[in-house]
Amino acid sequence: MGIRDSWDAPKCPLKEAINALSGIIGTPVETIVDWGMLWSVMSPQFPDPSTFIPSIEEATRVWAECLQERLESEELEEWTDEFVDKVKQGSGIRLEIGITENGVGRPENVFDQSTGQLKILFPKGASEKVYRNTLQAGFAGDLEHLFNKKSAITTASTKTLPIGARPPVEEGWSVIPPPSSAAAPSSAARGVMPQAEPAPERFPTLSMLARPEVLFETETPYLIYVRKFGNKELHIEGSHHASLTLLCDYFQKWVRKDRNYNGNVLDIEKQNSLFGLNTGFDYVKITCNRWELLNPTPFLAFIEIVLKYKLIEASSGVTWFYRRDTKFI
């Protein structure tokens, strides 16, 4: 269904991007994909299979858009002519989708000189999601150096100066500082480096997001919220199902048994999540049925010591909010 709807459908975004590219080049662009091979190699990277085809589709579509933008540039006519001469074969251009183990961490566009064929190679074993802005920047660099090896910038050909520093003074000349420099030293002179603004990120697309039970298991941060109700009841809510499961299993294993008490000393009720398809839960209700007070401290200690969540906020011994930014393996 993913191939039918996202890859082969005549009016899907990928087909529109490929058709637009074909119109500019003046020749058909054929995509060659061995889906069985791709899935057999890349399936461990996609706990939610429904995101596999959209990930391949988005990367290919971004590549087509980057190439189209480059071919439409009047300043790159020579590159365009070279591209058409080297890539066009017979009745059209062939684009193969494959796998690479070069460790780049993102899909890469290469040109096979022996076959005259374009390839988009997806990294094997990549654990991080590649976002659109990374795809765009990567493909732009790949296309720039598609027909030659990337040359490293050497210090002999390029020189840089620290922020706030002045260029070397030539012999016979002197540099007169501005009048205000003595009274108001720059931030660089004070040893304070200006902070760069964070790079903007593309908004995620709906088709690229996994089901809730998969998304919250594989993406950080993990969140846990603990609330105390009176002296007998404790609620633990979390986004990471495995964390809640381990916490429940541990305390169910070690809760004390009372043969003289008719019923369970401690009830642990798991509330199924309202989202997703699996039978995961995101809410736990713990109730003490005897005369003792329910002490929340062991649960809080388990969250911090065993699960290694960090306490972000606490309120009057009634609520606790935890967060973990490192993925579990």
pLDDT tens digit at each of 329 positions of the chain: 888 888 888 888 999 999 999 999 888 999 999 999 999 999 888 888 888 999 999 999 999 999 998 899 888 888 888 898 888 877 788 999 999 887 778 899 999 888 888 999 998 887 667 778 788 888 988 898 888 754 333 333 333 333 344 444 445 555 555 555 445 555 555 566 667 777 677 677 787 788 787 788 888 899 999 999 999 999 999 999 899 999 999 998 888 777 776 667 888 888 888 887 666 788 899 998 888 889 999 999 999 999 999 999 999 889 999 999 998 88
Write down the pLDDT at residue 185: 55
The pTM is what? 0.57
For residue 32 the two structure tokens come to 């060659």
- Cα separation of 108 and 98, whole Å? 10
Give CA–CA dist 107/304, Å, rounded: 38
Measure the CA–CA gap between 241 and 281, rounded to whole angstroms.
6
Helix/strand/coil for 236: strand
Domain boundaries, the chain: 2-144, 212-324
Cα gap 77→70, rounded to integer Å? 9
pLDDT for position 127: 66
